[in-house]
Chains A and B, each alone.
Chain A
Amino acid sequence: MTENTSQRASVVAEHLRAWNPNAIEEIIEFRGETTLVLPRKILRAVAERCREHAELKFDLLTDATCVDRFPQEPRFELNYHLVSIPRRDKIRLKVRLSGSDPVVDTLVPVWPGANWLEREIFDLFGIRFEGHPDLRRILLPEDWEGHPLRRDYPVEGYRDVPMVTGFRKSSV
């Protein structure tokens, strides 16, 4: 089964490389899962190709999430998990973003389901999605400060700092 998946995945990689020689920066194989690392600039174009082309047909964006590798640079990794229902295939697209400029094109026009997934990443990691129709916090209150799932945000939070505006922040 593992071999089959990687064979099919290499078909996807070859297809994308034939379309655009610079489409893929790196291919990572781990435990039978294939990850295609893409340059940030062409994420949207690759996503469109993955969804529309008859040979690829990744019609379901099942998940999108972020990993913070702080203090490494580029610290953020965005992972998009695609599923092709007609072809019974899976693939992961990855884009690396630097901490100083965490901006990437939104995928909402390609898969409308990306809307809340991207809002969640914006809320918890502070990554901005260019062109997103409704980029607001989703899980946390609107007046929350910071992005809790970043690695430099303490797990226990800032307990002694009242989250009410107008209160003095204690100096710890």
Chain B
Amino acid sequence: MTTVETATGTTKTMVLNMGPQHPSTHGVLRVLLELDGETVIRAVPDLGYLHTGIEKSCEDKTYSQAITLTDRMDYLNPLGNNLVYCLAVEKLLGLEVPKRAQYVRVLLVELQRISSHLVWLGTHAIDLGAMSVFLYCFREREEILKIFEMFAGQRMMTSYIRIGGIALEPPAGWRAAVDRFLKMMPSRIDEYESLLTGNRIWMGRTKGVGYISAEDAVALSMTGPTLRAAGIAYDNRKMFPYSSYEEFEFDVPTRTDSDCFARYMIRVAEMRQSLNIVRQAMAKITHEGPIRTDAPGIVPPAREKMKTEMEALIYHFKIFTEGFSPPPGETFVTVESPRGELGCFIASDGSPKPLRAHFRSPSYINLQALPKLVTGQLISDVVACIGTIDIVLGEVDR
């Protein structure tokens, strides 16, 4: 295991082991802290406790089977993982996805962003001692998960976004459910803000804590709310639009303080922007239209077709037994996940299984900045700093 040598000459420092079973490390992160009294001199993160070899497993699955594995990486953002993987495979195949399916994808991914930020806000607040916010956040998250259950039949591991479109027609009554959520949510966000934003204890625990300069953040490849809190408006939805994001109107909130408080403000503002996008997506989704692209041999045929057409049945059988073979080549697609830039790199050698599937997981790369954030801070601020990066260990270790 990793060890931290105590600096020679000083007898004051001590090494403290934080995690992997520490409640504020959000899973199984271990951080070795070298302390001078209560001040952190050095921090060394140690990861891999949740390494499940998802990238290796993808190499042994056909392209459509691997979708279910992507759900399990970032378990607060399964739809976003499905999306980035499907976009990469679609790019490899040169597939065009029907507009209606693209809008449904946007709608769900933005709802997912809100639910992920709610979990972040709740757990971050509980780490810093504000118990009740957690209960309120999970109350609203439940409503989002119910919407996912309506769409996909699953609350979390949805696998709803598929290569070439989406798995099922949006269910009856989804508009009413999303509408109800959109009406309720803005006042609920106000409620969280009334509990935290002007709260003296909250400000004391987060303002000026965990500062990182914009140059350092970019040099350390940080992305997402942590980078935007440093004043750089880097958002994949605006910079390199995918899934028709260029048709949506929304702002990319930025701040310049680059501390834990700024990151909190960014995420709250992002929730409001996401509500705005969900509203636009709902208006764009037509009542009827294709949800999957027509690509025989790649996208499974409709159920009705299989009952009447011989070829459709053969294709269905072939897709689910031997899969399909994209042309040899490599693609790298990035999307904006709640944590930052989520990327998927796929290399194909022309066989039905990926030669290599790699995921650029934002929490893994953002976590790299943890030593920079916590050095010189108090040990209680380490908790705030880990929380503010918003890591999901399932994605860090993959």
| A interface with B by C-beta (< 8 Å) | 30-31, 33, 35, 59-63, 65-69, 79, 81, 85, 88, 90, 92, 111-117, 120, 124, 136-142, 148-149, 151, 155
Decide yes or no: A62 and B51 within 8 Å by CB, A79-B345, A81-B345, A85-B218 being known contacts: no
Give the residue of A35, A111, A140 whose beta carbon is less than 8 angstroms from that of B48: A140
Closest chain B residue to A115, Cβ basis:
B368
| B interface with A by C-beta (< 8 Å) | 1-2, 47-48, 51, 53, 55-57, 59-60, 91-92, 94, 218-223, 232, 234, 239-240, 329-332, 334, 341, 343, 345, 347, 349, 355-356, 358, 360, 364-365, 367-368, 397-398
Counting from the closest, the 10 A-B pairs by CB-CB distance are: A113-B221, A63-B360, A139-B48, A65-B358, A30-B329, A155-B60, A139-B51, A113-B220, A67-B356, A67-B347
Shortest Cβ gap from A108 to chain B (Å): 10
Residues of the B chain whose Cβ atoms lie less than 8 Å from the Cβ of A138: 47-48
Complex contact A148–B347 (CB within 8 A): no
Complex contact B331–A139 (CB within 8 A): no
Decide yes or no: A155 and B59 within 8 Å by CB, A30-B330, A139-B397 being known contacts: yes
Residues of the B chain whose Cβ atoms lie less than 8 Å from the Cβ of A120: 364
Residues of the B chain whose Cβ atoms lie less than 8 Å from the Cβ of A85: 218, 232, 234, 239
Give the residue of A61, A88, A113, A148 whose beta carbon is less than 8 angstroms from that of B53: A148
Residues of the A chain whose Cβ atoms lie less than 8 Å from the Cβ of B365: 113, 116-117
Decide yes or no: A30 and B345 within 8 Å by CB, A61-B221, A68-B356, A113-B365 being known contacts: no
Complex contact A81–B92 (CB within 8 A): no
Decide yes or no: A62 and B48 within 8 Å by CB, A113-B221, A149-B55 being known contacts: no
Residues of the B chain whose Cβ atoms lie less than 8 Å from the Cβ of A88: 239-240
Bound-state Cα–Cα, A80 to B288, Å:
42
Residues of the B chain whose Cβ atoms lie less than 8 Å from the Cβ of A79: 330, 332, 345
Residues of the A chain whose Cβ atoms lie less than 8 Å from the Cβ of B240: 88, 90
* A60-B221, A63-B345 known, 9 other contacts, Cβ within 8 Å: A31-B92, A66-B356, A68-B356, A92-B332, A112-B219, A114-B221, A148-B56, A149-B56, A155-B56
Shortest Cβ gap from A119 to chain B (Å): 10
Residues of the B chain whose Cβ atoms lie less than 8 Å from the Cβ of A30: 329-331
Give the residue of B355, B368, B397 whose beta carbon is less than 8 angstroms from that of A67: B355
Complex contact A139–B47 (CB within 8 A): yes
Decide yes or no: A112 and B48 within 8 Å by CB, A31-B91, A81-B345 being known contacts: no
Residues of the B chain whose Cβ atoms lie less than 8 Å from the Cβ of A31: 91-92, 94, 329, 331
Residues of the A chain whose Cβ atoms lie less than 8 Å from the Cβ of B341: 62
Shortest Cβ gap from A61 to chain B (Å): 5
Bound-state Cα–Cα, A66 to B51, Å:
18
Residues of the A chain whose Cβ atoms lie less than 8 Å from the Cβ of B331: 30-31, 33
Residues of the A chain whose Cβ atoms lie less than 8 Å from the Cβ of B234: 60, 85
Bound-state Cα–Cα, A60 to B235, Å:
13
A31, A81, A115, A136, most chain B CB atoms within 10 A: A31
Shortest Cβ gap from A2 to chain B (Å): 11
